[in-house]
Structure formats: structure tokens, C-alpha cells
Amino acid sequence: EADIYQTPRYLVIGTGKKITLECSQTMGHDKMYWYQQDPGMELHLIHYSYGVNSTEKGDLSSESTVSRIRTEHFPLTLESARPSHTSQYLCASSELGGRTTNEKLFFGSGTQLSVL
């Protein structure tokens, strides 16, 4: 079973607020990811990290930023939330770091963000 945790599960916030979505994993995985998903749409990769002090932008442009100071922790920050940021944000990690095939992603429960 995956040990990857996201908080909060739900967040309703006003426009212009700064928010941080937390993601932690206890599996010691080097590679971590943030996906964004809207209802009926595919999961879009917005950020990933190969390890400590490594962050990369994903395929979908996002105004959010991430940091990776510790292996187990990969928080996502929005400096000024807008209604267009309303979405589900999913954090994931992988054991082999994408260096080989035949691996899978472990997902957290997600954060449903609503910006009013």
C-alpha cells in the first residue's frame, strides 16, 4: 500500500490568498510529481522532482511553484489564488524515479481546491 499523504483534502479560499498544498511520502521515493485534474479530463503533469533540490515543470503550464528540501516532502504553493486555479491537485511518487519502465505511480488522496 502507498504511504503518501496530502493535506488538506478540501480547501475553499478567496481570490488573492496564498496557499500551500502539502504532500509527504514515507516510502523513500526519489521522484515525486504533482498532477492537476479537472472533472472529465485527463491528469496533467504540472511539476516533478528527481530528488532533493531538484524541481522541473511538467507538460501543463502552471502558476504554482514547488520545492523539495527533504526527500519525503514536496509542497506546492500558489502565491495568489484565482478562480481559474479551482481543480483537484494530486501528488504522486515513484520508486524507481522514471529511470526504467515497469514501475508505477503511487498517488495521494488529492486536494480539491475551490477558489471563490
Partner 1 sequence: DQQVKQNSPSLSVQEGRISILNCDYTNSMFDYFLWYKKYPAEGPTFLISISSIKDKNEDGRFTVFLNKSAKHLSLHIVPSQPGDSAVYFCAASKLTSGTYKYIFGTGTRLKVLA
Task: Write out the residues near partner 1 by the rule CB under 8 A.
Answer: 2, 4, 6, 9-10, 31, 35, 40-43, 45, 50, 59, 90-92, 97-110, 112
Burial per residue of 99-114, b for 16 or more beta-carbon CB atoms within 10 angstroms, e otherwise: eeeeeebbbbebbebe
User: What's the closest the beta carbon of residue 71 comes to partner 1, in angstroms?
Assistant: 17
Nearer to partner 1, 56 or 79 (CB): 56
Cβ at position 104, least distance to partner 1 in Å: 5
Nearer to partner 1 (CB atom), residue 64 or residue 93? 93
Kind of pairing between the strands at 10-13 and 111-115: parallel
